[in-house]
Amino acid sequence: MNSKNIRNRAEQMLSLEGKVAIVTGAASGIGRGIAVRLAEMGAAVAVLDKNAEGGMETVAGIERDGGSAIAIACDVRSRSDCHQAVERTVAAYGRIDILCNNAGIVIRKDTLALEEEEWDAVLDVTLKSVYLLSREVIPHMIRNGGGTIINTGSGWSLKGGAKAVSYCAAKGGLLNLTRAMAIDHGKDNIRVNCVCPGDIDTPMLASECRQLGENPEQFMKEAASRPLNRVGTAGDVANAVLFLASDMAKWITGTCVVVDGGGLA
């Protein structure tokens, strides 16, 4: 097989032409990066976010590049919002093949400082939303003969971190939820996996710095001490999501891909 044929074969395996994806938390940061990358590879994308203006900006960028996308304002903590978002996606595109549960928030406090309503907010946005949306999407995937669900975890899905008890609990639960869903729905030809990013240059990371009283720029310099000597980008995570969504990963389920520049090594 010559090099041209190899490239063509690789492109075919990564292509998402004819696929429909939902991406949550897609108004900015990692979610926007994922939505853009999936659209670049041919998927029609439903951009879900409570931030309607940011969601429309993501869609506008996708459309400028020739892709297809719709923005849906959605509070992922709300069962009715999740139901309506899925119904709107199916009405627009006829099917759902890929669900990227990416929405999440972080509050940097230890157990004593964290208020009950803050605990609830982090768990609801970051973990409960995965249950709510998956519950709505999986029946559509089953009717279509299968699909893939990719959840955004964290390095803190795999280890603990300082002043982040609710976030660590949510992301740790998310990884094991991923495994459980993969076991339950393998019979339906639905693959469920998780990406676990390290520090990624996003508005959320800057927010964490401010919560801790740190300078974001200085933090970025210090965080670049990992083996690959830089903070990650949304595109780094989006590439891992693309791999898991594509036929290149068609025998991969119930696991996580760590995307952290070697931070956990």
31 in Cβ contact with 25 (< 8 Å): yes
The alpha carbon of 142 is separated from its chain's Cα centroid by a whole number of angstroms, namely 21
Phi, psi of 20 (to 5 degrees): -125, 130
What is the dihedral angle through the alpha carbons of 160, 163, 164, 165, rounded to the nearest 10 degrees? 80
CA end-to-end distance (rounded Å), the chain: 36
**Per DSSP, which regions of the chain are E strands?**
20-24, 44-49, 69-73, 98-101, 147-152, 190-197, 256-259
Active site residues: 167
